[in-house]
């Protein structure tokens, strides 16, 4: 599994190949949540999830400011705590049929901290 994080909250797009129509990531995530992925026909083998963490932008956050605009963590294994947290979020979304509730909010915060820790560990040089 790969996870891409945009700490600055920049608007972004997704496409399945170079030259394809750019689709807002939120739209692509919503389509996947409805079981109708935009970039795949037949058996679903990939999934897009997106979560938003909100914070007071008027307060300075040195850690967030120090991060690159795009953080990609690749090859996350199924026994990794990050993967397990993603699975918990997915189960909760399916259970409640809702992407917004206090459990998902807290799990998303945990996932964010796990991603920060992983990024720092892999880039500690």
What does the pLDDT read at residue 115?
92
The answer to whether the CB of 71 falls within 8 A of the CB of 115 is yes
The answer to whether the CB of 4 falls within 8 A of the CB of 12 is no
Give exposure, 48-77, as e/b (b: 16+ Cβ within 10 Å): bebbeeeeeeeeeeeeeeebeeebebeebe
Q: How far apart are CA 46 and CA 114, in angstroms?
A: 22
Parallel, antiparallel or unpaired: strands 13-14 and 3-5: unpaired
Question: Which pTM does this prediction carry?
Answer: 0.74
What residue ranges do the domains of the chain occupy?
Answer: 3-122
Q: What is the chain's mean pLDDT, rounded? A: 82
Residue 90 has pLDDT above 70, yes or no: yes
Q: How far apart are CA 81 and CA 65, in angstroms?
A: 25
The answer to whether the CB of 44 falls within 8 A of the CB of 90 is no
- What confidence category does residue 37 fall into, taking pLDDT thresholds of 50, 70 and 90? confident
């Amino acid at each position: 599994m790969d996870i891409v994080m945009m700490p600055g909250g920049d608007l972004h797009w997704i496409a399945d190949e170079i030259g394809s129509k750019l689709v807002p990531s939120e739209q692509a995530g919503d389509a996947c949540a409805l079981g109708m992925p935009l970039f795949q026909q037949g058996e679903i083998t990939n999934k897009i999830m997106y979560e938003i963490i909100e914070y007071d932008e008027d307060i300075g956050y040195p850690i967030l400011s120090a991060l690159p605009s795009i953080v990609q963590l690749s090859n996350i294994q199924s026994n990794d705590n990050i993967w397990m947290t993603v699975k918990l979020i997915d189960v909760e979304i399916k259970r409640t049929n809702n992407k917004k509730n206090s459990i998902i909010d807290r799990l998303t915060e945990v996932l964010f901290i796990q991603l920060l820790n992983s990024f720092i560990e892999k880039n500690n040089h």
